[in-house]
Chain A
Amino acid sequence: MKIKSQKDFWSGLMFVGSGLFFAFWAMAFYQMGTAVRMGPAYFPTVLGFLLAVLGALVLLESLTLEPEGDQAVHTPFNIIDLVVTVAIYAILIVLSQTFSLASEWPILGGTIIVSLLTVVFRPDAKPIVLVTAATIAYGYLMKPLGLVIATAALVYISALGGHEFKWKEVTILFIILVLFSVLVFVKGLTLPFPIWPEYFS
């Protein structure tokens, strides 16, 4: 059996996997009910199996139908990289729970580890990983460190994901964006963001 369309193969697999997951999870933990009085499991179970069937069809097509155009999947990372990423977060979350640390730590720590691994081993994946990491850093740094530092993290990290990185340019951009955020969002629209770290102000 040869895979004729990589794109269809992986999307079919994705649909079958998540469909079965939703269906079995619902059946295992929620009440099914009857067609007259549907329980919380009814609709997700039906949808989950439907999704799995459609996914199986896509999978079947990927093995039989001659594809049109380029059917290779061009991602700068492979399925093992994805599994490793998920594993890193999972291990850190379990560790943080055993040492009863706040949930921010494994998220931030995992993001730093994955970003560093990407820069070293998968430079082509920098855009997707660093852009995502930049927004996550922004969200998790806002409460403890305030808007200025969170914005700095977002601007510098995301700029590293671009083609060119010039310290001077990025710093000017950062200053403009911080001023704009403070004036428009905090002063103008009165969003309750801390501007500086807590012990500072």
Chain B
Amino acid sequence: MDQIFHNLVIGFGVAVTPINLLFALIGCLLGTLIGVLPGIGPVATIAMLLPITFNLSPVGALIMLAGIYYGAQYGGSTTAILVNIPGEASSVVTCLDGYQMARQGRAGPALATAAIGSFFAGCVATVIIAVAAPPLAEVALKFGPAEYFSLMVFGLIAATVLAHGSLIKAIAMVIWGLLFGLVGTDVNSGVLRFSFGIPELSDGIGFVIVAMGMFGTAEIVANLEMKEQREIFTSKVKNLWPTKQDFKDAWASVLRGTALGSALGILPGGGALLASFGAYSLEKKISKHPEKFGKGAIEGVAAPESANNAGAQTSFIPMLTLGIPSNAVMALMIGALMIQGIAPGPQVMNEKPQLFWGLIASMWVGNLMLIILNLPLIGMWVKLLTVPYRYLFPSILVFMAIGVYSLSNNAFDVLIMGVFGVVGYICAKLECEPAPMILGFILGPLMEENLRRAMLLSRGDPTVFFTKPISAGFMIASVILLIGVALPAIRKKREEVFVEEG
């Protein structure tokens, strides 16, 4: 306990220096901005800013990027409640009850509940990270190559299981990502793989470039193909403060949302999106008045909004302690660390306590800023929504192109982004999820490296992954996950076939 307190003191010492406060503020404002605006998410934004962070201090860069991620969770709810459009994917369920509350003239309490719930969840999640990270990092330090390989297998399987849509397609996308990740020089032999004589490919394909193409370009095009229609809920936001009855209805939902969100955030493949969906269905299941959901139940706003913020923050735990990304945003954070010359992994906590605890403390500071800033600024954010998309998308494209071009001042990178934009577009049309592919892409070289080392140490005996206890645990967990998801799917499809024949 003393240790935690001591660590948090170090952290706050770093987080409240004026320059880092400024970075947290920039991150939170930017995050809220892109959260409010539909059609641009934290992945594309962080990818865009990644090259710029090269000029910042490591801790400042991470504080700002983290602020964008959890700031987006706050901003997304504003759009969901007032416009019935999820500004952020994780706010999809907030639309259901939040917009209904707004229609009943209770937009103020809905916004306030979302903000207060998010703030509470953010505080709890910060404490969870501070308590859970050190022991996890301790365990992770004992990991050998076999454990790391199995952990990555588990992480990738979990990511596919939690992705919606076909399981086989999701696993295929992961392997696709792993293969694309192998392009470039093989570190062991120095052989150029899959570079087809193109010198720019000898260092591999930049992760940021793939992410921008698959998420950025593909998303812009998807928005352009839809007809532009955005009706703003024009009622003035007044009576911000929820009533006593609202508090009574919502506090338990906030607690449950926070707990569920924190748990789902730690899981590989989890994070804000899964957390909000999980929390909403849990609330609906245990509520005494499930019929009220979808008609403006305050619980339906409080639980998912708390959950998505908690999940956004606890998803930092596997990234900070194991060096393994649990979602695309965390993969970008690892990219940010590597740009700064820091190898992500359990050693970061001991070698760079300022960075580690500074980041954690900044999350609490950022959450405080968000709640103080956001409620008074809601009017401004709403005004932003009236900006038509035909002004927004060329601007977003300019920032994407600048971001990618400045990585190495090379037009070829922009071309690769274009190619992956088309790939991402086709994948979306074929219902193949891009997120598992991105995870595979970043883990590809790491996985190969650890597989090679593990096999070298075991003299070519593949059973090593099942005889070492921790590694075996991960492998068994992966198999259970796979079977657990595969079974009902098979059963369901079979039933349908039988119905057809009968």
Question: By the criterion CB–CB under 8 Å, are A40 and B191 in contact?
Answer: yes
Q: Tell me which residues across on chain B come within 8 A of A164, comparing CB atoms.
A: 390
Whether A54 contacts B393 in the complex (CB less than 8 A), given A36-B455, A65-B497, comes out as no
Contacts of B497 in A (CB 8 A): 65-66
Closest residue of chain A to B493 (Cβ to Cβ) is A65
Q: How large is the interface on A (under 10, 10 to 19, 20 to 34, 35 or more residues)?
A: 35 or more
Partner of A128 from the list B176, B415, B425 (CB cut-off 8 Å) is B425
Contact flags B309-320 to A (C-beta < 8 A → 1, else 0): 000000000000
Least CB distance, A112 to chain B, in whole angstroms: 14
Name A142's contact: one of B168, B169, B411 (CB within 8 Å).
B411
Choice from B171, B224, B447 contacting A162 with Cβ under 8 Å: B224
Q: Is B397 in contact with A104, judged by CB distance below 8 angstroms?
A: no
5 contacts between A and B (CB under 8 A): A25-B194, A132-B217, A138-B405, A162-B393, A163-B224
A30→B394 CA distance, assembly (Å): 43
Separation of A126 and B188 alpha carbons in the complex (Å): 44
Looking at B57-65, B136-144, B426-434, B467-475, the stretch in contact with chain A turns out to be B426-434
- Is the CB of B186 closer than 8 A to any CB of chain A? yes
- Confirm or deny: A191 has a beta carbon within 8 angstroms of a beta carbon on chain B: yes
The answer to whether residues A66 and B500 also contact, given A10-B430, A50-B175 and a CB cut-off of 8 A, is yes
Are B400 and A51 touching (Cβ within 8 A)?
Answer: no
B-to-A contact residues, CB < 8 Å: 52, 55, 166, 168-169, 171-172, 175-176, 178-179, 182, 186, 188-189, 191, 193-194, 217, 220-221, 224-225, 227-228, 389-391, 393-395, 397-398, 400-402, 404-406, 409-415, 417-418, 421-422, 425-427, 429-432, 447-448, 451-452, 455-456, 459-460, 462, 493, 496-497, 500
Q: How far is the CB of B499 from chain A (nearest CB, A)?
A: 9
In the complex, the answer to whether B166 meets A173 with C-beta atoms within 8 Å is no
Cβ contacts A122-140/B at 8 Å (1 or 0 each): 0000011001111110111
Nearest chain B CB to A21 CB, angstrom units: 9
Contact A47–B455 (Cβ < 8 Å)? no
Q: Is the Cβ of B224 less than 8 Å from the Cβ of A131?
A: yes
A169–B405 CA distance with the chains assembled, in angstroms: 26
Please give the distance in Å from A89's CB to the nearest CB on chain B: 10
State whether A131 and B390 are in contact (beta carbons under 8 Å apart), knowing that A30-B193, A44-B182 are contacts in the complex: no
Interface of B is mostly: helix
A residues bordering B, Cβ < 8 Å? 7-8, 10-11, 14-15, 18-19, 22, 25-26, 30-31, 34-40, 43-44, 47-48, 50-51, 54-55, 57-58, 61, 65-66, 68, 73-75, 104, 107, 127-128, 131-136, 138-140, 142-143, 151, 154-155, 158-159, 161-164, 169-170, 173, 177, 181, 185, 189-193
B221: chain A residues at CB < 8 Å are 127-128, 131
- Going nearest first, the 9 A-B pairs with the smallest beta carbon separation are A139-B414, A36-B460, A139-B411, A127-B224, A35-B460, A40-B186, A11-B430, A54-B172, A40-B191
Question: Which residues from chain A contact B412 at a C-beta distance below 8 Å?
Answer: 139
Q: Which of B168, B389, B401, B405 is the one whose CB lies under 8 Å from A57?
A: B168
Residue from B393, B398, B421 within 8 A of A132 (CB atoms)? B421
> Chain B: which residue is nearest A144 at the CB level?
B411
B residues less than 8 Å from A169 (CB atoms):
390-391
By a CB distance below 8 angstroms, the chain A residues around B227 are 163
